[in-house]
């Protein structure tokens, strides 16, 4: 479990928790291999209905700590492009439901 408290740009406190928030992607298993360091993309809905996306950087290595980076919507779109080859069909569909689509523009 990774959790973090931060103040948003409106000065409101937001509590993120990987145990209770929706995991949109996990890199724990890649190509049938368990990873010891990996990223996970999460969605958190605040009490006011605001959606916060964040990446949890997870490690199982002794002496290392998990961390969280909150993403803007532009950063989420860039993250999806970077991780597109790892995303499954269900993950791509869920991200599309949230308004993030990867479409060829060339």
- Chain segment 2-21, per-residue pLDDT in tens: 899 989 888 999 999 999 99
Euclidean distance between CA atoms 90 and 62, whole angstroms = 33
Q: Residue ranges per domain, the chain?
A: 3-97
Give the pTM: 0.90
Q: Is 1 a residue whose pLDDT tops 90?
A: no
pLDDT band of residue 68 (cuts 50, 70, 90) is very high
Top pLDDT among 105 and 54 is at 54
Region 71-77 average pLDDT:
95
Euclidean distance between CA atoms 69 and 41, whole angstroms = 10
């Amino acid at each position: 479990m990774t959790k973090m408290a931060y103040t948003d740009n409106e000065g409101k406190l937001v509590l993120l928790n990987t145990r209770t928030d929706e995991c949109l992607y996990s890199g724990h298993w890649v190509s049938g291999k368990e990873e010891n360091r990996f990223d996970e993309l999460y969605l958190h809905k605040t009490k006011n209905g605001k959606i916060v996306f964040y990446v949890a950087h997870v490690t199982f290595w002794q002496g290392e700590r998990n961390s969280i980076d909150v993403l803007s919507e532009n950063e989420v779109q860039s993250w999806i492009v970077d991780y597109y080859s790892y995303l499954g069909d269900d993950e791509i569909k869920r991200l599309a439901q949230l308004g993030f689509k990867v479409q060829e523009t060339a």
